Chains A and B, each alone.
Chain A
Amino acid sequence: MKINVSHIAKLANLSLKEEEKEKFEKQLSSILDYVKKLEEVDTSKVEPTPQVTGLKNITREDQTIPSLSQEEALSNAKNKHNGFFKVKTILEK
């Protein structure tokens, strides 16, 4: 199975070197081929299963609870500025 590694890397926010792209393309292809084995199982009578807990309707009432303080919220931030998180602009405006 042919894989567009550059596209996937971009979606995953990863920058890869050329040799890495080649390496991962092979690896990802073989993984997909292997997982393809699952298609041999007859699943025509099996419902799609995105949940395994059997739970439903786990909700909360619309009530507020105290939030973190600004200091706490920013305590692990690499860069901050006047109470904001600060990051490099990744898009031109």
Chain B
Amino acid sequence: MTTITVENIKKSFGDADILKSVSLDIKDQEFTVLLGPSGCGKSTLLRIIAGLESQDSGIIKIGDRVVSHLPPRERNVAMVFQNYAVFPHMTVFENIAFGLRMKKAPEKKIKENVERTAALMHIDHLLKRYSGQLSGGQRQRVAVARALAVEPDVLLMDEPLSNLDALLRLQMRAELKSVLEASKTTTVYVTHDQVEAMSLADRIAVMNSGRIDQYDVPDEIYSNPATEYVGSFIGNPPMNFISPDYQVGTIPAGATQLGIRPEDFNVSKEARDNYWPITVLTREKLGSHQQLSAELNGQLFRVNIPNEIEIESGNTLYLMPKEDKKRWYTEGGKIIL
């Protein structure tokens, strides 16, 4: 049973509060993604869980054990680094064996584990090479194999795919997903890429300058963003936030913003009752659909419409948000349920 409990972790560097009381409850075998823009404190949180950085206050538990005072080597975690950190002076075999050697595992087990994980990551033909003789993608595989070989309680990954080129990244993402699903290791994965997060995560923790705004399954994060920040960070293009001045019908008490995803509008080319007449500013054809940006009295709209609708910039289009997709937000940007 390897749960991870993060309780009220605070961290500041000098005057800057980088983590402002962060808490997380990660379940056994769960794949959690820390998602947020660069600089929001994801890596710092991950490094505190790993023990590479010390928290100012708060507690980390792995399973039932409080580990926040322990050095990394006593936490039984493994980590994959953004630039892989595959030791250049060791062969691939020695790299993968490193953690097991540190644990003084018997030679037989070392050989078994190295060969098994190397086969899993399809690098079994590279075991005698040095990292200088590997491509970026191969190094990435070595880093993952090295982490899996120690059979850790917890696997930590800091933007492991961000140094790969786009095509390789897609392929590695799919492969990682199946390998990690099979390994059943509790995993914390850091990324700033929402697509990566959506596709990999059991649950996503969306971070906003040192806080966690929402910690939930991907579907919930997408359809019920807990804050205006989450709505405008997730989704491409992000959620529209519309002032209630444009709104007809009932508005919940305290609501100051209507949140609606670009694809959640009823669209018409002719004027209709209660539809907003918006002026199209730009139109982009994206293949599967078209994406418009449009405007009404200074309010900006982003709208996704089917390819069948013929429209030019300068034209007027009529919109109405779908009733069941409307989300309401308070002055402070919190969702009203």
Same complex origin of A and B: no
Interface residues, chain B, CB within 8 Å of chain A? none
Interface residues, chain A, CB within 8 Å of chain B? none
